[in-house]
Amino acid sequence: MPHQHSPVPCGRISRRSFLADVGMGFTGLALGNMLHRDGVARAGEVGEEFEPVTGKPHFAPKAKSIIWVYLSGGVSHLETFDPKPALNTYAGKTYDETTLPNPQKLPIFLERSRSVVGFDRDVVSKIFPLQVGYQKRGRNGIEVSDWLPHLGNVVDDLCIVRSMYTTDNDHGAEFQMHTGRHFLDEQQPTIGSWVSYGLGSLNDNLPQFVFLGQYKDSRVKKDFYSEYLGPAHTGVELSLDPANPLPFGARPGSVLAAEQRQEFEFINRLNELSAVEYPEDEQLLARIRSYELAYRMQMSAPEVLNLAEETAETQALYGMDNDNTAIYGRRLLTARRLAERGVRFSLVYLSDYGEWDSHSDIKNLHARSCGRVDKPLAGLVTDLKRRGLTDDVLVVCATEFGRTPALEITSFNKAGTGRDHHPHGFTVWFAGAGVKPGYVHGATDEFGFHAVEHPHYVTDIHATALHLLGIDNRRLNIPGRKRLEVDYGKLMTDIIA
């Protein structure tokens, strides 16, 4: 009797798994694009809960790609896009000493809080005045910090949401912003990975999910990790060096391009031999040349990263002519070039890890950080508009939480010049495809403490971004991976144009 092979032999790695894992995930990533686009990869059999993932929108999209900008550490909403005059009026007083309700005594204070460090943090309540002035900017008189003059000039193109909240009072909230889950819960795929899984690529020569930013701290990888969706949907880090665009899959200097091509061809030959052993994978075999795609990615990425092709005026628009803003300008200009070439999701890390975490000296630290991002961000918004890309590209600018209205003086921080973490109310903003320009949605209370008008948990951003790409978040499910109701989020219908 002839020897029979099961699809996944005991003690061996299946060819599917091998393709997904080898080559730092580039092979699986390329293969995933092909399978999704052709309707082969699926979340499960058609049924009430699971349905095919076809790599196509569920309905007509308003956007083709997303540039997701992240500012790590917790940006003060109070000193950027949600200034509160009451902080100056009651400066130096406790909440109980004002004529307004004490926000720390409202039931909502605990309803939205799941502490990682317990409730042993000293609760700060001495009101800290605004550390910078602000002006009403644009046609609708939207208040913008004086630290952000360039973004103030383009505020008519921004859609600002002042009523975000999260449930983690520590920096696990950064990963919560991308996954939707609290640090104490089982981690979920990131928003970029869901986009990759749901839609695939518009360009076979480039990854569909890109990370731009050097993660010196290994924890940042959680911001673009695909978890159970598999390595095909993990973000691919691109460096800004055209000669070495794939820092974790680069061809060593001692290896010639022709030699690398021969390596890919050799692995393809192994795949062909494996197909003889596993004839049940005939449908997959037709797409097995994904290694060739991985090779093409190394050939095409340098062109995208060649910013010398841009005019001096464009480079200056992004602040690339200034040492203070050049690195962030380059990341954002690269993200625009990637979006133009069909990359679905670019996560642009526009800070050092934890840079905005101003427990002390917030006046100087936030002023410096605002100065680093203000012109590059405004340049991106302006550049997308003048190139006609606002109909195709959605920009999301986010952080993990805000900063407390009160002064932080605690047992471990006695400086008395900063603000603590504040998950109860903070600001994010959008621009571009599918959102209302020059618009403010939601509000915090008079202290900027709680999100009280149209409050939104972080997965509402996910639901809205996916909707604008033509994806129904509730139709993205994996067999054996039950998602919670909170994972799906709620659509921010009010901000959609």
> pTM for this one?
0.84
| pLDDT score of 150 | 98
Structure confidence by residue, pLDDT tens digits, 347-360: 999 999 999 999 99
Q: Average the pLDDT over each of 14-23, 190-199, 316-325, 433-442 and give the range with the smallest value.
A: 14-23
Dihedral of CA 115/120/121/127: which sign?
Answer: positive
Q: Average the pLDDT over each of 127-131, 184-188, 229-233, 402-406 and give the range with the smallest value.
A: 229-233
What is the mean predicted confidence (pLDDT) over 125-146?
Answer: 97
Confidence of residue 454 (pLDDT cuts 50, 70, 90): very high
Q: Average the pLDDT over each of 86-95, 100-109, 281-290, 366-375 and give the range with the smallest value.
A: 281-290
Q: Does the structure show a pLDDT above 60 at 200? A: yes
Q: Which two tokens stand for residue 88?
A: 């100056």
Q: Give one DSSP letter per residue of 125-176, joined into a string.
A: -BB---SS-EEEETTTTEEEETT-HHHHHTGGGEEEEEEEE-S-SSTTHHHH
What is the mean predicted confidence (pLDDT) over 112-135?
Answer: 79
Please classify residue 36 by burial: count the beta carbons closer than 10 Å to its beta carbon, then call 0-12 exposed, 13-18 middle and 19+ buried.
Answer: buried
Alpha-carbon dihedral of residues 131, 427, 168, 122, nearest 10 degrees?
A: 20
Domain with CATH 3.40.720.10 in the chain: 60-240+311-495
Q: Average the pLDDT over each of 47-51, 284-288, 374-378 and give the range with the smallest value.
A: 284-288
| Residue that is written with structure tokens 């600002």 in the block | 160
Q: Map 403-434 to HEC letters.
A: ECCECCCCCCCCCCCCCCEECCCEEEEEEECC
| Residue that is written with structure tokens 């973004």 in the block | 151
* Right CATH for 60-240+311-495 from 3.40.710.10, 3.40.720.10, 3.40.50.11720, 3.40.630.30: 3.40.720.10
| Gap between the Cα atoms of 270 and 177, Å rounded | 41
